Amino acid sequence: MPRIYLTFVWHMHQPFYKDLVTGEYHLPWTRMHALKDYYGMVKVLQDFPQVRQTFNLVPSMIAQIEEYAEGKAADPFLRVALAPAEDLSESDQSFLLRYFFQAHPANLIRRYPRYGELYDAWCAAGRNPRRARGYFGAAALRDLQVLSQVAWFDEEFLDHDPGVRELVAKQRGYSRADQEAMGRKQLEIVNAVMPAYRDFAQRGQIEVSTTPFYHPILPLLCDSNVASIAHPYVPLPRQFQYPEDARHQLMQARDFMERRFGVAPAGLWPSEGSVSDAVFRIASECGFRWAATDNGVLARTLGQEANSRITYQPYRWEQEGHSIHTIFRDHELSDLVGFSYSKMPADAAVAHFLGFVRERCEPILASGRDALAPVILDGENAWEYYDRNGRPFLRQLYAAISADPRMEAVTVTEALERVPSEPLGHIFPGSWINANFDVWIGAEEDNRAWDMLLRARESYEATVAAGRVSEENRALAFEELMIAEGSDWCWWYGPEHYSENRAEFDHLYRSHLSNVYRALGLPAPEELSRPIIRTEFTGHHQHPSAPVKPSIDGEVTSYFEWMGAGRYRVDARSGAMHGQRFVVRELLYGSDHHHLYLRFDLDQPPPRLRLCLTYPGGRWDIELASGRADAPAPLRAAYGRVVEIAAPLEAFGARTEESVKLKFSLWDGALPLDSLPQEGWIELPVTDPGEWPV
């Protein structure tokens, strides 16, 4: 009797949040999903031994989980969560309030009545930390610290772990001891993740596939111009063409997974299902035996509409002596799991899922053939939208599959052994999103990011070829390039997606590129100090009201010396996320007809920093350290409580009836700290003293 072989492929991925130079993890989401999703998604299969599945694990995600498990990873969110509530600084309190309600309100926050109360208080305060602090004393802050973390604990621990159940039952009034217990339990959960996957893989209930190491869009690494095939006339950046990077990302991933699991993965989910003939050729040469992508790509490959007849069977791509088996996800079915079933009761969702699969498979079964039903989707982000993290839905679904004699859930490799593959002579270049690459290239922000990446890649090649870098620094620069090639940065650039942490992603991308130059011993381009994203920063610009001629000594020697100066200030509360640090608190400026005077009031600057002053005709770099300022002629500068600079107007080529267009950036070594303005130029008016009011 013909059968339906269900192939679940759960893709587990988070961006690489670690800065290799500082060692800091900028965002907490790998840790949070390790608490809530990675362990429980495989552990639930223990009760359904007939259900076999494929888990696609991204190596850069595993590397982060391992560092958290070993206690080597540190992120500011964890530090604030574990700090004594009484000792939190005003800045820490604001951080806690701003970012510890980043969870689904109905399913994660209001599941815990006290967490819901705190959320309501935060909303009543207009989501303004200064106003909210009137309600959030130490006791409320500690309740928030504990519950915001417990809300992300896996159902296995919420249901069965006595210590976690005790924390949940307490509901409010948590003690310092409770907070410390929460921290220990986090470490225990994260330590359980990788052993669970190894255990289920060794017993054969799961197959582990992988993705290129840092999750790059492989076709664009091979040749970024391939994007114009799927979307003719799309505006593209300068051509990026490094197929050797694609090969490295694949081999690094395969070797990493073999060390972790004792066997090299047979399967590949190319990042975002992005494929091309060049990618399949490299993947087959690297030893991968199967790959998966979306049936939208299959439809464009075959020149017909996507349907179950073409989707519910495997294929074998063959070209010039290379071959690789390929399965194509049912886009509609996978999206139902990802986005629709969370809004339904579990039993109704399961009934719809099974009815959908049977209906689509029936024509194939009626012809006497077996059907392969591919369900491939994100294995982590969907579940907070489900009741109890999706466990009631999954458990009922797995039980129903186990009870159906005509249906079997198998790994991809098992399905390929049971269902014959159809030949495929080529593959259309595209991703799982609209069978093109528009999410990652073509928009202005995306193209700027690719141009910056290419310049860094070319600088690496030139510096290495010249023999001007040690092997250790070369390896560091190359690793930072591989990280910057990841898909996650451009996921947030362009108009398609929004995140409250969008600014942090942008900052981290530019930091990785800055680290490339730092490792190579080169000055980083000034453009890396400026956000790529178009943020809504509010600038307050007050023009001068009188001439000024201050002493350039780095001190505020008199209130009157800057009286009448113009002021430019950025409101850090508008559009600023954690990770977007504003070092420049305020810029004062003015003129005495011969010179332009600048004063920077800084907020917690590092001991050493570099101030880059750029104008349309050039750029000056000023080194600042321990009360000293080293400025190139004809500038004069001083660094003490403030930074003060004097520059002849003629140095800018400016006349008194014009404005001077400037922009500034601050650097700590090769790492960008701040820029003013965030976009474009500041126009500083320079007028004749006779025009000043008396």
pLDDT digits (tens, 9 = 90+) for 44-84: 999 999 999 999 999 999 999 999 999 999 899 999 999 99
CB 537 within 8 A of CB 575: yes
Q: What is the pLDDT of residue 22?
A: 87
Q: What is the pLDDT of residue 603?
A: 82
Total-model pTM: 0.83
Q: What is the pLDDT of residues 536-593, one digit of tens each?
A: 545 578 888 888 889 999 888 776 788 888 888 865 533 323 234 568 888 998 888 7
Q: What is the pLDDT of residue 579?
A: 30
Q: Count how many residues are written for the chain.
A: 694
Q: What's the CA angle centered on 654, arms 652 and 656, to 5 degrees? A: 145
CB atoms within 10 A of CB 301: 24
- Give the H or E element holding residue 129: helix 129-132
Closest CA to 220 of 259, 272, 290: 272
Q: What is the pLDDT of residues 296-341, one digit of tens each?
A: 999 999 999 888 889 999 999 999 999 999 999 999 999 899 888 9
DSSP-assigned states of every residue in 521-532 = T-PPPGGGGS-S
Q: What is the pLDDT of residues 515-524, one digit of tens each?
A: 999 999 999 9
- Please give the C-alpha separations between residue 540 and each of 176, 530, 568, 583, 645, in angstroms, as whole numbers: 43, 19, 6, 16, 21
Q: What is the pLDDT of residue 583?
A: 80
Kindly give the interhelix angle for 138-150 and 162-170, rounded to the nearest 10 degrees: 140
Dihedral sign for Cα 88, 94, 98, 99, please.
negative
Cα-based torsion angle of the residue sequence 15, 19, 24, 29 in order, rounded to the nearest 10 degrees: -10
> Cα–Cα distance between 191 and 135 in angstroms, integer?
36
Own/partner pairs for 618-627, CB < 8 Å, 24+ apart?
Answer: 619/526, 621/523, 627/554
> Cα–Cα distance between 7 and 56 in angstroms, integer?
12
CB atoms within 10 A of CB 623: 16
Closest CA to 19 of 579, 454, 603: 579
Characterise 6 by phi-psi region: left (phi > 0), alpha (psi -120 to 50), beta (else).
beta
Which residues of the chain fall below pLDDT 70?
535-539, 559, 570-582, 654-658, 670-672, 678-679, 686-694
CB atoms within 10 A of CB 610: 19
